[in-house]
Amino acid sequence: MSKLSKGLIIIFLAVTGICSVYAGEMNLPFWQEPLSTASQTPGINQNLVSKEIYVNGTLPDYPWIKVSEYKNHQVERCITCHEGIANISPGHPPEFGCSVCHGGEPESLNKEQAHATLIYDPEARTGKRNPSSLSVVDKSCGQLYCHSGHADEDRNHINRVKKSMMNTLAGVISGLRYQWAAQSRKTARYGTLAISDKDGSIPHHQGALEKLGQVPFFSPST
């Protein structure tokens, strides 16, 4: 391949990358300044510069439950700044709105006010985008009749995930402790957090445990 061809490929990739980044970031910074200017311009109707979602969805299996009643927001203006964001899944259509999962003050067009009550875990250090951290998930995904509160236990995903090995890392911890002779058997004793199974269904024959303690930490000097 000639030096010219290589150079053209590098330039193409660089331009493509810049365009991708710009396209991904053209939401809040792109719209906030024009909105602020428009809101201070006499004679401009605020409703003409904001974009709205009407939260009129109902839960498929519970059609008498209105999604808007979870956070008491009938109209949301999040897409004024976040226009073009992809739907998370077919099970979470646009008519569910944003605040039912993310929290916040979706009627506001002021960034600080709109984001003041977002649901997120500051200790996770992933910003304010993710309301599904298990430390706060009961306020978002774990609301009644969403991923919790069903008669069918298989649909109560939040309760199951909190007890899963993916959350507790019980298998990793027990394997390492056994390998390094910190415990005499492979059976898990500890997890990343102390947890007890309180739902009354503990399938011991499948290896389920009643509880896990929090993994002990040892001082490097001992």
pLDDT tens digit sequence for 96-141: 999 999 999 999 988 899 999 999 999 888 888 889 899 999 999 9
pLDDT value at 9 more than 70: no
CB neighbour list of residue 142: distance below 8 Å, 6 or more residues apart: 148, 158
Which of 38 and 131 is assigned the larger pLDDT?
A: 131
Q: Which of 166, 160, 218, 208 has the alpha carbon at shortest distance from 191? A: 166
Per-residue confidence (pLDDT) for residue 188, from 0 to 100 = 92
Tokens, residue 99: 């605040």
pLDDT per position as a tens digit, 136-192: 999 999 999 999 999 998 899 998 898 888 899 999 999 999 999 999 999 999 998
Segments of the chain assigned E as strands: 53-54, 58-59, 62-66, 75-76, 190-191, 195-196, 211-214
Per-residue confidence (pLDDT) for residue 19, from 0 to 100 = 47
Per-residue confidence (pLDDT) for residue 209, from 0 to 100 = 87
pLDDT value at 93 more than 90: yes
Cα–Cα distance measured from residue 135 to residue 124, given in angstroms and rounded to the nearest whole number: 9
Which of 6-15, 33-42, 108-117, 159-168 has the least mean pLDDT? 6-15
Cα–Cα distance measured from residue 28 to residue 167, given in angstroms and rounded to the nearest whole number: 33
pLDDT value at 23 more than 50: no
206-219 average pLDDT score: 83
Which of 88-102, 146-160, 199-213 has the least mean pLDDT? 199-213
pLDDT value at 21 more than 60: no
pLDDT band at 41 (very low <50, low <70, confident <90, very high): low
